[in-house]
Amino acid sequence: MCKDTPYSDYAKLIVVSGTPMTKLAFFFSVLIAVCAATARADDRLRFVTLEFAPFIYGENQQVAGPGRDVIAEACLRAGIACSFDIYPWRRAQELMKAGDADGMMVIGRNPAREEWLDFSPPLFRTEYGFFVAANNPLIYDEQSQVAGYRVGVFAPSNTETQLKGLREEQIAQHVEPIEIDGHPDDAAGMRKLAANRLDAVYSNRDRGWGIISDEELGGQVRYAGGDKAILYYAGIRKDFPYPEVAKRFFDAWRELYSDGVAQRIIEGYGLEPAPQE
């Protein structure tokens, strides 16, 4: 019997007219159809994420960008119907933990997330670093250079987690620690920096450049240098009820990288594909 079909449904199928053999043949033909329909219903993944250009973003009321394109291609190869939605970050995580979404896209990996997500191989390689006002001569190389800085960061996020770690290291080294200014809108930090209300913003490099372009802050804010190399992934919740679907998705993902398709998609957007593990 096919998975997740109640026994009462089978009982209903048997009540048909005709000879016993006709009944049996009809029963199995309908059973096959029910199983096939159930399999098709299971072959779905709903991905949620936040607006995170240039990796993933909304365009013409659709989710677009290299993150979406690579994942959509993996779904196509795996024969999985995938959908994509953009939400505020907190809401996206709530949907995942409530079981109303299955996967997340373009996310950093950390121990807390590993407790409830199964991660894909890496998707992008980029870095976290410091943005400063254009008139600040800082070329970032070590933590002591930002001692006492008031630093903006998107929060809650993996970026914030990394910045908190940097602050703890400053304290351990008896360096005046940074003051962290977290905010749920990462563009707001760049605007505050341009208005001299922050000393720096800690951000993904490529995301920061995108914000500078979108907010037309090119003459006011610049990138001072990288602090930590970072990889971005997709993740599927560990309690997703169809592990065979998740496996097909991850297998198709690996194929995309082994034959170079994923790399061509990502490089077409001017971004760096991640080396594969």
Question: How does pLDDT run across 242-276, given as a tens digit for each residue?
Answer: 999 999 999 999 999 999 999 999 999 999 999 98
Is the previous residue joined to 177 through a cis bond, with omega within 30 degrees of 0? no
Segment holding 124, helix H or strand E: strand 124-133
Among 3.30.530.20, 3.30.465.10, 3.10.580.10, 3.40.190.10, name the CATH number for the domain at 43-124+232-267.
Answer: 3.40.190.10
CATH class of 126-230: alpha beta
Residue 226: strand pairing partners: 129
In the Cβ-directed half-sphere of 143, how many Cα atoms lie within 13 Å? 18
Helix and strand numbers, DSSP H then E, in the chain? 10, 11
The tens digit of pLDDT for each residue in 34-69 reads 443 444 557 999 999 999 999 999 999 999 999 999
From 64, 75, 66, 57, select the one nearest 232 (Cα to Cα). 66
3-class secondary structure, 225: strand
3-class secondary structure, 92: helix
Minimum mean pLDDT range among 15-19, 97-101, 184-188, 227-231? 15-19
